[in-house]
Amino acid sequence: MSFDGLFTKAMTEELCSAIKGGRINKIHQPYKNELILVIRAGGKNHKLLLSAHPSYARAQITLENYENPKEPPMFCMLLRKHLEGYVVEDVYQTGMDRVIVLEVKGRNELGDISHKQLIVEIMGRHSNIILVDKSRNMILDSIKHVSHAVSSYRTVLPGHEYIQPPAQDKANPLTADENDVQRRLDFNAGQLDKQLVAQFAGISPLVAKEAVHRAGIANRVTLPAAFIKLMETIRLKNYEPVIIRHGSKEAFYMITLAHLGGEARQFDTLSSMLDRYYFGKAERDRVKQQGNDLERFIANEIDKNKKKIIKLENTLAESEKSDQHQLYGELLTANLYAMNKGMKEIEVTNYYDESGATVTIPLDTRLNPSENAQKYFSRYQKAKNAIGIVQDQIHRANLEVIYFEGLLQQLNSASPRDIEEIREELQDEGYLKQKQRRGMKKPANEKPKLESYFSSDGDEILVGKNNKQNDYLTNKFARRDDIWFHTKDIPGSHVVIRNENPSEQTIKEAAMIAAYFSKAKDSSSVPVDFTKVRHVKKPSGSKPGFVIYENQQTVYVTPDADVVIRLKEAAAEVK
């Protein structure tokens, strides 16, 4: 993983520089495994994100906004009791492990000086955040409890002694020399990158492969020299935070990784780099878990309606043969004299065919001649009436597919709050059964919360992330001369510029946001329509989020996550 021991060292230095000596003013726990500590230091507030997420564990300063639950979890309440108002005395790393310790000092409820440790262990699915009473080395609580049944090495439960993660007998790469590297590696055994990982603490496969790459033809001379030079860069703190995109994957590190190749983007700080790298990743993971049932339901509805359309189109094709039933009825009526009950078929001359060809008409042996003729007339009338009904049903089924495909796209870019609004919409529309809500009821007049961005020219750009927000933004919140955007014939969000005469740059940026929050997010040259809000109408009785519009212009853009993040960060700075 990219967040190895060396990266932890660099991040600890960045955090120490930013928050050491700062006061913890607020503590939030927006999600099960993540904390936000608002720390006042250096004349401004820093949002320290501590995550024990199984896939996205990390510690960083963040500019992202996180929604907090109405009722804080118990661990959050405990941290507020023990840490709010405390001063961060130090931030350091334990050895070369992925463990960051925040030393904090304050006064307890009795007014006595109290020393606590908030320990962040960044270890994949075993990641944890632990509050320790330093004087007694006793665990007060942790974000994840680990019983003896789970780990025989140590128990992470309130009241137990804090024991550090198992130590690894590895050398410190930052103090090693070329002789150490030569002595620890077996150059005849191959897999030198894996040997580096096994022999040196804090080294990830990513760094080991970089050392081997820089060595060129790796041998007893070139590899130790390349490895020590690489470690020298890190020891001297010559950091260049970078995200490398190679193929469809991305990797981050605090120095350039030449062996990956691909497109690289540099950042000023490790934290800003992590904000960009993890932008939406952890949230999409949470949304996928919370909205898994919705995703299955919506996918089933799309599949069901597509199958329905196929059946209806087959029915329509049969119905369009109604003229043949009318012909058979008329020909049988003209030839009643030649028919007898019990006949299986009759061959008659087709008077409507100029060539005078004959037609063989199947008969029902149970019916008399007149009844056989009436049967074909009835089929004709029934088929004729069915055409209009079937066409209407096909139209309705197509609208259902469009509606549910729109919901599916919204799930892909939804926040946890958006998930609940989509669920409520499906309940209001009668697709899902209404459930009894426990706890505080949502106010009936509560307005949807829109996502805000700011263009390079300073214009606010608002986005609806689901149909409730789209309807509110377009039909209630936006002014008549504001500029409205939507991807052309593609499911996506409603986007509005709060300016009736925006610049071309602002129009392009708003279109970029509309394309990013659409089904065409990963496409290039996406068509985006824009017009004044006054030209956007919602047909009576239409589905949530559905509108029609006119007088539009079209601009083509390629969605770029970096641009969207920059515009969102601009909004955060304004607020």
Q: What is the CATH number of the domain that holds 216?
A: 3.40.970.40
Chosen domain end from 359, 392, 410: 410
The H or E element that residue 281 is part of is helix 281-290
Residue-by-residue DSSP string for 285-316: HHHHHHTHHHHHHHHHHHHHHHHHHHHHHHHH
Please report the pLDDT score of residue 216 as a whole number: 87
Please report the pLDDT score of residue 250 as a whole number: 85
- Mean pLDDT throughout 358-381? 89
* Whether residue 403 sits in one domain with residue 377: yes
Q: Measuring CA to CA, which residue among 118, 134, 138, 137 is closest to residue 24?
A: 118
- Asked if the structure places residue 277 within a domain, the reply is yes
* Whether residue 259 sits in one domain with residue 182: yes
Across the strands, what pairs with 483? 497, 532
- Asked if the structure places residue 425 within a domain, the reply is no
Residue-wise burial string across 244-268, b where 16 or more C-beta atoms lie within 10 A, e elsewhere: beeeeebbbbbbebebbeeebeebe
Q: Is residue 330 pLDDT above 90, yes or no?
A: no
Q: Measuring CA to CA, which residue among 114, 92, 81 is closest to residue 19?
A: 92
Please report the pLDDT score of residue 149 as a whole number: 85
| Tens of pLDDT, residues 38-68 | 999 999 999 999 999 988 999 999 988 887 8
Please report the pLDDT score of residue 171 as a whole number: 92
| Per-residue pLDDT band at 441 (split at 50, 70, 90) | low
* Whether residue 133 sits in one domain with residue 24: yes
Identify the weakest region by mean pLDDT among 128-142, 315-329, 373-387, 444-458: 315-329
- Asked if the structure places residue 433 within a domain, the reply is no
Q: Measuring CA to CA, which residue among 518, 568, 512, 256 is closest to residue 408?
A: 518
* Whether residue 73 sits in one domain with residue 124: yes
Q: Is residue 26 pLDDT above 90, yes or no?
A: yes
Distance CA 445, CA 457 (A): 34
* Whether residue 530 sits in one domain with residue 402: no
- Asked if the structure places residue 42 within a domain, the reply is yes
Identify the weakest region by mean pLDDT among 57-66, 304-313, 319-328: 319-328
Q: Is residue 300 pLDDT above 90, yes or no?
A: yes
| Tens of pLDDT, residues 219-249 | 888 999 999 999 999 999 999 999 998 777 8
* Whether residue 187 sits in one domain with residue 109: no
- φ/ψ region of 439 (left if φ > 0, alpha if ψ in -120 to 50, else beta) reads left
* Whether residue 300 sits in one domain with residue 270: no
Residue 374 belongs to a domain with what CATH number?
Answer: 1.10.287
Q: Measuring CA to CA, which residue among 344, 280, 177 is closest to residue 565?
A: 280
| Per-residue pLDDT band at 509 (split at 50, 70, 90) | very high
| Per-residue pLDDT band at 70 (split at 50, 70, 90) | confident
Residue 62 belongs to a domain with what CATH number?
Answer: 2.30.310.10
- Asked if the structure places residue 528 within a domain, the reply is yes
* Whether residue 312 sits in one domain with residue 277: no
- Asked if the structure places residue 427 within a domain, the reply is no
Chosen domain end from 378, 410, 442: 410
pLDDT higher at 327 or 37: 37
Range of the domain at 109: 5-142
Whether residue 246 contacts residue 274, with contact meaning beta carbons closer than 8 Å, is answered with no
| Per-residue pLDDT band at 429 (split at 50, 70, 90) | confident
* Total tally of structural domains belonging to the chain: 4
* Whether residue 274 sits in one domain with residue 239: yes
Distance CA 270, CA 260 (A): 19
* Whether residue 277 sits in one domain with residue 191: yes
| Tens of pLDDT, residues 248-278 | 788 899 998 888 888 888 999 999 999 888 8
- Asked if the structure places residue 468 within a domain, the reply is yes
Whether residue 160 contacts residue 175, with contact meaning beta carbons closer than 8 Å, is answered with no
Chosen domain end from 142, 170, 192: 142
Q: Is residue 1 pLDDT above 60, yes or no?
A: no
Distance CA 108, CA 259 (A): 52
Identify the weakest region by mean pLDDT among 78-82, 123-127, 414-418, 456-460: 414-418
Is 0.85 topped by the overall pTM? no
* Whether residue 99 sits in one domain with residue 189: no
- HSE-up of residue 554 (Cα within 13 Å, Cβ side): 9
- Asked if the structure places residue 456 within a domain, the reply is yes
| Per-residue pLDDT band at 436 (split at 50, 70, 90) | low
Please report the pLDDT score of residue 508 as a whole number: 96
Phi/psi of residue 431, nearest 5 degrees: -80, -35
- Mean pLDDT throughout 69-73? 87
* Whether residue 110 sits in one domain with residue 182: no
| Per-residue pLDDT band at 490 (split at 50, 70, 90) | very high
